Structure formats: structure tokens, C-alpha cells
């Protein structure tokens, strides 16, 4: 069996990076993807997890509103809120990220990443 997802969307929040007990970097962020168009457009939210060097790059260059293409493995997780409600979360363990330029100037404090074609070598 093969589990793969490719999703293009915008970050719904700034990335959050932490380190495991063994010192491995992990970065999480929410990704908003649109399904449909016009009055039938809906937003599907995915939780993206990045590891190691990719996690460090995502934390350094991504911010809320930035477009990104994510390729990874899709999983589903159930959790209970503080209010006792059971909810489901769709999560992607990223295998590859492509930082997408939207042609607009970046308003935030993080520097814009070079387009992927201009890089000699990926940082992860």
C-alpha cells in the first residue's frame, strides 16, 4: 500500500517549532486548502508536521498566509477537547515542501525564500 497526498494551500497560523527529547526538530502548522469554487467553495484544514532540517527551514521561512506545496503521508487522528467533545484531525507528515511565491510582497518579518528553481541545493 502507498499513502501519499499533495496539497497546495496557505498557512493558517505561524509555524510552531519544538525539539524532541533526542534533539530532533519538529515544526507544525495548519494549512488551508480550498475545495470547489464560487458559492460552493469550502476550506479543508490540514495539520502539517515537518521533521529535522525541513522543520528548521519551515520555521525559518514560513509564516501565516504564505503559500506552500506539501507532499507527504496523510493520517487521521481523533482527540478530545477540553470541553469533552471528540474531534477528528487530518494530519500530513511532510516528505517535501515547496515554498510558493504569490507575487506579492511579504509583509511579515521573515525573509522570503528563494524560488525553488534558484536554489542549487535544498536545505534539508
DSSP per-residue letters across 64-85: TT-EEEEEEEEEEEEEE-TTS-
**Residue 120: predicted pLDDT:** 46
Lowest mean pLDDT among 9-18, 21-30, 97-106: 97-106
Q: What is the helix (H) or strand (E) element at residue 59, kind and residue range? A: helix 52-61
The predicted-structure confidence for 68-120, as pLDDT tens digits, reads as follows 999 999 999 898 999 999 998 889 999 999 998 765 544 444 554 444 444 44
pTM for the full model? 0.74
Q: What is the helix (H) or strand (E) element at residue 5, kind and residue range? A: strand 5-11
**Residue 103: predicted pLDDT:** 56
**Residue 42: predicted pLDDT:** 93
The predicted-structure confidence for 36-65, as pLDDT tens digits, reads as follows 888 899 999 999 999 999 999 999 999 999
**How far apart (Å, rounded) are the C-alpha atoms in residues 64 and 11?**
5
Amino acid at each position: 500500500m502507498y499513502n501519499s497526498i499533495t496539497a497546495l494551500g496557505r498557512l493558517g497560523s505561524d509555524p510552531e517549532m519544538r525539539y524532541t527529547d533526542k534533539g530532533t526538530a519538529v515544526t507544525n502548522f495548519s494549512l488551508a486548502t480550498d475545495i470547489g469554487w464560487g458559492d460552493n467553495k469550502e476550506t479543508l484544514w490540514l495539520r502539517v508536521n515537518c521533521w529535522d532540517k525541513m522543520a528548521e527551514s519551515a520555521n525559518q521561512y514560513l509564516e501565516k498566509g504564505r503559500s506552500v506545496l506539501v507532499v507527504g503521508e496523510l493520517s487521521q487522528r481523533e482527540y478530545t477537547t477540553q470541553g469533552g467533545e471528540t474531534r477528528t484531525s487530518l494530519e500530513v507528515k511532510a516528505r517535501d515542501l515547496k515554498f510558493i511565491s504569490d507575487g506579492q510582497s511579504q509583509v511579515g518579518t521573515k525573509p522570503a525564500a528563494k524560488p525553488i528553481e534558484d536554489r542549487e541545493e535544498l536545505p534539508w
